[in-house]
Amino acid sequence: MIRTPLPTSSRNHRGFSMLEIMIAVALMAFCLIPVLLFNQRNLVEAGVTQEEIVARQLLINMCERFKHEDPAILARLEAQPDLIEGDDFITRIPESQKAFLNIQRLVDFEKNYHNNDGIHRVTFQVRWTSPRRKKERILSLSRLIHWHIS
């Protein structure tokens, strides 16, 4: 049996040329880039939301813990913020989160708010630096306390 070569017109239709493959790959990459960027942005936002949830939980815990405290104690907490972390009834921040987010809890106490005797304002703050956003974030909550200091 003698083989005869195929005509040239049918030999050109056997596969894809390198140019066709390169164009197809470029189109697929062009279509997938927006999808990948969208997913990356969602992951970053999920991390930021998780940081805020932790900060809100710490803020609420601090408000609940110190809501009935003597104003003298609140003034001492303002002057010495390390006493907050040393309190036995406050939620502990895990060392990994404390180092990763650089979390701080602070108290700002204003005696006789707006010259009203016996009305004091206390502001609880949670500050942290997000590695994702590279800037300091602050959550705070203020309360007015009616307490006559003798």
Domain extent listing, the chain: 18-146
pLDDT at 124: 95
Q: 5 or 81, which is more confident?
A: 81
The CB density around residue 85, as the number of other CB atoms within 10 Å, is 13
Rounded Cα distance between 130 and 33, Å, is 26
pLDDT at 140: 93
Contact yes or no for 109/126 (Cβ under 8 A): no
Is the model's pTM score more than 0.85?
no
Tokens of 123: 């502001």
- Sort strands 136-146 and 119-129 into parallel, antiparallel or unpaired: antiparallel
Q: Considering only 40-49, 98-107, 115-124, which range has the smallest mean pLDDT? A: 40-49
Q: Considering only 46-55, 75-84, 139-148, which range has the smallest mean pLDDT? A: 46-55
